[in-house]
Amino acid sequence: MRYRKGSIVISEAFDIPLLLLIRNSGYITHEQLIALSGYDKSQSAVCNFLWRIRRLLAGGFIGLFDRRIEGCKVYSITHTGLLELESFGHSLSSLNAQTQVICHPSKMMHCLELNAVRLSMVRHGIAELWLTDVEVCAENLMTDDRYVKDYDAVAVLKVGEQSLTCAIEYERSNKNAARYSEIRRALSQEQMVDAILYVVRDAKGLLAIARQLSGAHPRILFVTAAAIRRMGIDAYAVRTLSHGGPLSTLLAQVAHEADAVRVAASA
């Protein structure tokens, strides 16, 4: 097949995974993209990655935020990129080429900080699968609310020999008491995940949210973003204000409890 001179031919094997990662992340830094896309640090791999990103930018498939964030370039998908993904069969009911505003800049720091949490879990070898908010929302739209809310992510975490399906919420700022009452009622009805992990920006916020939501679900945990980025599964986490420990220990506890629930349900 011959292509028009100057046209950019999208590779299903190499370009599409990058476009999917950018679309699903909302916003993503250059460093997060290269790490989450699985490129190694060899010179040839990095050169190949840079070449592909330059092509995607030149073709208008992705956009570059107008300023760097903490020295990092930040990418997002464009309508052209969404159209290209849809032509390869990668459509989302929650985000498509007809969407007027793809991702509002006000959500950028939320996206980038959640990416950092995801990357920490990947590097510590516990994230087996990760669905972002647009993918969770698409599942809810297609399945008549599979989950009780549109979580920031749903991940399958490897806990020892077990796999734990965990809803993840990233809380950058605290909500009012009335809103937490609504969330508490919703979480109490959640049956599609084994556990819920609230990642909170700082320790002060963690204490406030744990006070509002502990016990809302039988297996809900709370941890700070800084701790999980720095220490991974060794981060200090809590189930209630009086019950805490390493995240690895608490995940093992809830995985054992979830397994017991499944065994009882199948008996």
The residue extents of the domains of the chain are 7-103, 104-267
pLDDT tens digits, the chain, 267 residues: what are they? 344 445 688 999 999 999 999 999 999 999 999 999 988 778 888 899 999 999 999 999 999 998 999 999 999 999 999 999 999 999 999 988 888 888 889 999 999 999 999 999 999 999 999 999 999 999 999 988 789 999 999 999 999 889 999 999 999 988 999 999 999 999 999 999 999 999 999 999 999 999 999 999 999 999 999 999 999 899 999 999 899 999 999 999 999 999 999 888 887
Residue 255 makes CB contacts below 8 A (sequence gap 6+) with: 159, 160, 162, 164, 194, 195
Residue 75 makes CB contacts below 8 A (sequence gap 6+) with: 22, 27, 28, 29, 30, 33, 53, 62, 63, 64, 65
Top-level class of domain 7-103: mainly alpha
SS3 73: coil
Residue 101 makes CB contacts below 8 A (sequence gap 6+) with: none
pTM passes above 0.75: yes
